[in-house]
Amino acid sequence: MHYFCRMKELIDILHDEGLTLVVKSADGYIHRFTQRGVKDLLTLVTGYPEVLTGALIADKAVGKAAAACMVKGNVRHVYADVMSDPAFALLKVHSIEAEYGELVDHIINRAGTDWCPMERLSHDLDDPDAIIGKIKEFFNNQ
């Protein structure tokens, strides 16, 4: 099967099943997720990094914080319906193939009124470890 067909399969699963994140791990197992935001990726990168190593990912939205988790997890290829320019740049710097339906300046919050909090906290950082530290700090303070 061609590489493009494998990504198309994940994108179809993402849309057809109404998911927020689909991860095809290197062993071929397809993991399905429904939480909004970066929580599922944070759980994977901190608790189950083997799921991300060499994985193919289809995601609804990828901002810089999500991209940092993907970089830290050694993901191979990412598709996002919406991807922020800083996320795209971070993935590219770390040699992760990235494609998107729409490229935006930044990810917006759920209310559509401001920046996504994760995008804001990662905006001035370039080190994936530092970004993940800020994500953890954010969730620990909630």
pLDDT of residue 142: 78
User: Which residue did the predictor score with more confidence, 2 or 60?
Assistant: 60
User: Which residue did the predictor score with more confidence, 2 or 48?
Assistant: 48
pLDDT tens profile 75-132: 999 999 999 999 999 999 999 999 999 999 999 998 989 999 999 999 999 999 999 9
Identify the CA nearest to 133 among candidates 52, 55, 61, 65. 65
CB 122 within 8 Å of CB 68: yes
Rounded Cα gap, residues 106 and 113, in angstroms? 12
pLDDT of residue 1: 39
pLDDT of residue 70: 98
Mean pLDDT along residues 59-82:
97
Rounded Cα gap, residues 90 and 22, in angstroms? 20
Domains of the chain: 3-140 (3.40.140.30)
User: Which residue did the predictor score with more confidence, 142 or 122?
Assistant: 122
The amino acid at residue 105 is D
pLDDT tens profile 14-47: 999 999 999 999 999 999 999 988 999 999 999 9
pLDDT-derived band of residue 2, with 50, 70 and 90 as boundaries? very low
pLDDT of residue 4: 52
